Structure formats: structure tokens, C-alpha cells
Structure 1
Amino acid sequence: MDAIHLEDLSFFAYHGLYDEEARLGQRFHVDLTCWLDLSAAGESDEYEQTVCYATLVKAVEDTVTNTRFKLIERLATAVCTAVFETDPRIQKTKVRIHKPGAPLPIPTGKVSVEMTRERPE
């Protein structure tokens, strides 16, 4: 299956367990892959035959910035749902949420959650 990749989308939001995260906010980075058949777009060179990248970015942005979640696992699930609602041609999606400012008990480190979902029947 073909894929569209959007990488390192950056959004400022207020997700997390702690009051400071809700009050101060932080940057989140999102990588997104959408699997679908792109053969018609590849043959026709017609815009209508593909998924609009800007529409996908807007769906991710709305999800990340307009609802607060305690867990990035829940945020990733919500992004997957939003992607499927964006275009019925998308059959599978993978989202990785990076939380570079995650409160860790060590001076350095990175946290991310990745989920892969297939379109619900």
C-alpha cells in the first residue's frame, strides 16, 4: 500500500498529568503516516486523486491544540480518529507523538508514543 508521511509537525499544547503542564504548556511534535492507494494520483497528476496534506495537518493541529489530555497515549488515539475522519480513502495510519519536555527524573531523555491503527469497519 502507498503512504503519505508528514514529519515533525510542531504544536504548542497543554497535555500532561501535572498542574504545571496544564498551566505552562509545552511543545509537542507529531509524525504521521497515512496508508492508502495513491495509484490514481500517480497516474493522473490530478490533485483530487490524493489526500490534501494541509487538511491532514489541520486535523492534527485541531486535535492537539483544542482538547487537553492527561496522557499522550490518549492524544495519539484522538489523532488517529481525526485522521480517519479526514478522508475515507485512508485505510491505515500511524502516529508518533513526541513530548520533548516530559518530566523525567534524569537530566536528558526523550519520550514518544507511537500507535498504528486500521480504519474501523
Structure 2
Amino acid sequence: MSKIYLEDVKIYAYHGVLPEENIIGTYYILNAELHTDLWIAAESDDLKDTISYADINEILHREMKIKSKLLEHVAGRIIAEIHEKFPEISYIKLKITKTSPPMQGEMKGASIELEKSFKPDN
């Protein structure tokens, strides 16, 4: 099994149920784990034989720009777009953390995590 990780991607965005969350915004931290075969790239040293993490990063940033009430909705869109662009990925796990949720008490953040396995296309 081969994996690609994007870790602690920090993006400022405007998500939330409360109206002020859509105006003020906050930082979000994204962590993605992608399963795919990297052995051809390990041999070839050629970008065309792998999945560019720059392309994954671009998807994360593009989807985070679209305001949503729920982080689950954002994560679902991101996973769907990654899979659509890279159908060779067999599994995606995405964690999104809102760093300053509008809740009582001090905390590092509030997170959701979605995972999805994909059957190989035959």
C-alpha cells in the first residue's frame, strides 16, 4: 500500500451555521491521506506516474473558498472532487479542523473526519 499525505494545510475560510462565521471567518487545518499505487513513480522519477500533491492542495483551497454551513459538506465535496480527478485513488481520509469555533471554553479546535474507499474501475 502506498500513501500520499498533506498535513496541517492552513486555510482561511468562511464556514458555519452562525451568520457571523460567514463574515468573520477563521483558520481551518486540513489533513488528507490518499491511498494509491506509487511504485511506478518510485521507479521512473516522473511526475506523470504519480499524483501531484500540488494538485490535491489546489482542490483543497478551491473547495474551501465555497461557503458551507457544515464542515461535513465541505469534506464531502473535497473527497468527491479528488476522486473525480484521480480515480486511481482507492481510499481518501480527510480531517478538517475549525481552529476557533464559536463555543464556550478554550480549545485547539473542533474537527470532523470523513473516510471513503473506492472500488477500482473495471
- TM-score, length-scaled by structure 1: 0.92
Q: Does 2:13 match 1:41?
A: no
* Mapping for residues 33-72 of structure 1, pairs under 5 Å: 33-65=33-65, 67-72=66-71
What is the number of equivalent residue pairs in this alignment? 120
Cα deviation for residue 10 of structure 1 reads: 1.2
* Mapping for residues 98-117 of structure 1, pairs under 5 Å: 98-117=97-116
Cα deviation for residue 3 of structure 1 reads: 0.4
Unaligned stretches of 5+ residues in structure 2: none
Matching residue's letter, 1:18 = L
CA contact (8 A) 1:26 1:101 kept: yes
Unaligned stretches of 5+ residues in structure 1: none
CA contact (8 A) 1:56 1:86 kept: no
Cα deviation for residue 86 of structure 1 reads: 2.3
Aligned equivalent of 1:96: 95
Cα deviation for residue 109 of structure 1 reads: 4.4
Deviations 1:57-92 (A, max 9, x none): 001111011x11111111111111111122121111
Matching residue's letter, 1:41 = A
CA contact (8 A) 2:100 2:108 kept: no
In structure 1, C-alpha distance between the alignment counterparts of 2:37 and 2:111, rounded to whole Å: 28
Deviations 1:31-67 (A, max 9, x none): 01110011111122221110011111001111011x1
Q: Which runs of 4+ in 1 moved over 3 A?
A: none
Cα deviation for residue 108 of structure 1 reads: 2.9
Aligned equivalent of 2:73: 74
CA root-mean-square deviation: 1.4
Report percent identity of matched pairs. Answer: 28
In structure 1, C-alpha distance between the alignment counterparts of 2:85 and 2:62, rounded to whole Å: 12
Matching residue's letter, 1:115 = L
